[in-house]
Amino acid sequence: MNSYLINVKVKHTRFSPKRYSFGTKFFWFCIDLNELDEITRKFPLIGHNDFGIYVFKDSDHLKFGSASLMNNVKTYVSQFETKEITKVELITNLRFLGYVFNPVSFFKITFADSSTSAILQVGNTFNEIKPFYVHSKCMNKNGFSITETKNYYVSPFIQMDSVLKFCFSEKNKKINISVTSSVHDEVVLSAVASGRKEELSVINLLWMTIRYPFNTLKIITLIHWHALILFLKRIKYFKKTDDKNLQIGAQIWKI
């Protein structure tokens, strides 16, 4: 089976205007979309678009007119490349007891000619997602590094037109990810995640559930807690209604 779990450590560091950092641990799923039926047969804790302790819902991700996430991936990728897609793996959180929040998810795409590409799906607390495409020409042996203007509301403590640099590397059982936000060529925020792949098995999933209970609820709670700390530190606050002209390409994801 290509699908697996990822045991993750992440550290967030704000460099400007005041230094602040925190770290946490959690786990991700990496789901091969071709294996969804097999996963739901083998793992009674996991459902697909229905009921389960953990549920993978196609509608929690890219929105391009289809009920099928695979079809939506193909539609989105076709805007950039016309090669046939043979495999899509998605690193993400699944719904736990009906709730999910994904600050970022990663689609790893394999084409018929064995080349690869990726999609970064960034989420915010206003039920929006925004995809960023990584062209196959930008991929290297172990991953990719791209820079994009954000044009999106994520944190209320950084402006909408900041520049994001995404780095992703995967080697053997290790995954390393970093996202930095820059304003006027100054790095003001970084998030660095290091993960280790674990077999998707009943035992491992039970262990992760015990070790990281209410995984997705923990993530959203930490987001609001640390936002409160930054607010009390009097970091400049940007409202969602500010600079609407700089918010481009977001989709509503949760209904």
Show Cβ contacts of residue 106 under 8 Å, excluding neighbours closer than 6 positions.
Answer: 90, 91, 92, 118, 119, 120, 121, 168, 177
Helices (H), 160-211: 202-211
Domain carrying residue 71? 4-252
Locate the DSSP E strands across 34-185: 46-48, 54-56, 85-92, 95-96, 104-111, 116-123, 128-134, 143-149, 163-171, 174-183
The residue assigned the tokens 């995967």 is: 170
The pTM of the full predicted model, rounded to 2 decimals, is 0.95
CA-to-CA distance for 56 and 76, rounded, in angstroms?
A: 20
Domain count, the chain: 1
Span 209-221, pLDDT tens digits: 999 999 989 999 9
CA distances from 229 to 17, 19, 37, 223, 234 (A): 14, 12, 43, 10, 9
Are 151 and 165 within 8 A, CB to CB?
no
Residue 254 has pLDDT above 80, yes or no: no
Evaluate whether 188 touches 238 at the Cβ level (below 8 Å).
no
Q: Could you tell me the two tokens for 130?
A: 């925004």
Answer whether 111's CB lies under 8 Å from 117's CB.
Answer: yes
Residue 124: band (very low, low, confident or very high) from pLDDT cuts 50, 70, 90: very high
Are 222 and 135 spatial neighbours (Cβ–Cβ below 8 Å)? no
Confidence of residue 223 (pLDDT cuts 50, 70, 90): very high
